[in-house]
Amino acid sequence: MILGKKVRLKATKEQEKKMWKSVGTARWVYNWTLARQQENYKQGNKFISDNDLRKEITVMKQLDEFKWLYDVSNNVAKQAVKDACEAYVNFFQGKAEYPRFKSRKHSKRSFYNDTEKLKVKPNKRVLIEKVGWMETSEQIPVGVKYCDPRVSFDGKYWYLSVCIDQAFEKEELTDEVIGIDLGITTLAVCSNGNKVKSINKTKVVRRIEKRLRRLQRSASRKYEMNKEGDRYAKTSNLIKIEKQIQHLHRRLTSIRTNHIHQATNAIAKTKPCKVVMEDLNVKGMMRNRHLSKAIQQQKFKEFSRQMAYKCEMYGIEFMEVDRFFPSSKKCSSCDEMKKDLKLKDRIYSCECGLRIDRDLNAALNLRKAGQLAA
């Protein structure tokens, strides 16, 4: 199973400089290759193989004026030649449009890192050739095969994207079925009693949200102040504030996504034979004004998406039960229905004597549904 992974790189100023050099070299070599092929074609010659072009570059490097090619990994140039040749061939085979030259401003700022040279350590560190070791926002799996590693810049951050070939050994699964109930006060409650706390109650998130609210207030005040008739003028100060707001939103999103990754990883690693979740009608729930914000933040959809693909990776069966399945209202012990269960009732108590955390009761019902379906 091939997985795409994209992580942020935390580079020093010095490393950023080196990466810019690699970006520039990749662009220059790409354009040089296209120009060589075009000129060659005009002269009525056959396509030059990327191997031959690479040899030309090796010769060029000896010249003083091209010495700078040594500043970056030779794999950067090698791949740029290959990419340009591929684009050229694709055009002649009718698979793509005529390749365009890469412009400094408008083309994607990226370069290639050799697969063999990409080193990953289990402490969230990665080695980019000729740039150095860097911390990554997330751990890239170790002990797996990598392919096509590319470093790119999105205008704000540097990223490493890499394909990972995870030839998963079909590991022994336990015979446990896990039901997972997603909620707002607690993000997830598993039928085995494990709980995943909500990230929104942590200090970090609260602090960011507080700063966000302050900035948003200040931005809207400034909008009012700079109002000219029905036009809004943007001052440089306002632009600055909006950038900060955007940055904070990005941070929140990544904190939340990471949290879900950790939670779903932990569940998958216990190797249950089956995971059962509710197919949540997120759209319907969003219509409830009071719940919508919290639901959005918890990213329920993201949780089930991640859970589903991680189950697939381990060969765990992933089951979604109908959203009309009464997981909360049903007693997990005697199957009796409690019609008057209110949202504020945190404890589910039944006439059969069961007194249990409401979410755990739901998780147990989901597990039962999974066991019955087997």
Window contacting Zn ion (CB under 5 A); options: 149-157, 171-179, 198-206, 353-361: 353-361
Confirm or reject binding of residue 239 to Zn ion (CB under 5 A). no
- Name beta bridge partners: 4: 163
- CA 40, chain centre distance (Å): 42
From candidates 2, 35, 347, 352, binder to Zn ion by CB under 5 A? 352
3-state secondary structure of 100: coil
> Residue 317 CB, nearest distance to Zn ion (Å)?
28
Nearest Cα to Cα of residue 261 among 310, 193, 297? 310
Window contacting Zn ion (CB under 5 A); options: 73-81, 143-151, 288-296, 343-351: 343-351
Window contacting Zn ion (CB under 5 A); options: 124-132, 185-193, 316-324, 330-338: 330-338
Confirm or reject binding of residue 347 to Zn ion (CB under 5 A). no
Scan residues 153-192 and list those touching Zn ion (CB under 5 A).
Answer: none
Write b or e for each residue in 49-74: b if 16 or more Cβ atoms lie within 10 A of its Cβ, otherwise e.
ebeebbeebeeeeeeeeeeebeebbb
- Rounded CA separation 301/289 (Å): 18
Q: Which is nearer to Zn ion, 151 or 331 (CB)?
A: 331
- CA 279, chain centre distance (Å): 22
> Residue 176 CB, nearest distance to Zn ion (Å)?
23
Confirm or reject binding of residue 89 to Zn ion (CB under 5 A). no
From candidates 76, 84, 126, 350, binder to Zn ion by CB under 5 A? 350
Q: Which is nearer to Zn ion, 273 or 354 (CB)?
A: 354
Q: 264 with 270: CB under 8 angstroms?
A: no
> Residue 331 CB, nearest distance to Zn ion (Å)?
3
Which amino acid, one-letter code, is at 302?
E
Confirm or reject binding of residue 349 to Zn ion (CB under 5 A). no
Nearest Cα to Cα of residue 325 among 298, 357, 287, 363? 363
In what helix (H) or strand (E) does residue 297 lie, and over which residues does it extend?
Answer: helix 289-298
Q: Which is nearer to Zn ion, 331 or 363 (CB)?
A: 331
- Rounded CA separation 4/75 (Å): 21
Residue with tokens 């729930």: 285
Confirm or reject binding of residue 362 to Zn ion (CB under 5 A). no
- CA 13, chain centre distance (Å): 24
- Rounded CA separation 112/81 (Å): 11
Q: Which is nearer to Zn ion, 291 or 352 (CB)?
A: 352
**Contacts with Zn ion, 283-322, as mask; x by CB under 5 A:** ----------------------------------------
Window contacting Zn ion (CB under 5 A); options: 143-151, 173-181, 231-239, 336-344: 336-344
From candidates 147, 233, 334, 337, binder to Zn ion by CB under 5 A? 334
From candidates 331, 362, 363, 366, binder to Zn ion by CB under 5 A? 331
Alpha helices per DSSP H over 43-141: 50-61, 74-92
Q: 69 with 57: CB under 8 angstroms?
A: yes
Q: Which residues bind Zn ion (CB under 5 A)?
A: 331, 333-334, 336, 350, 352, 354
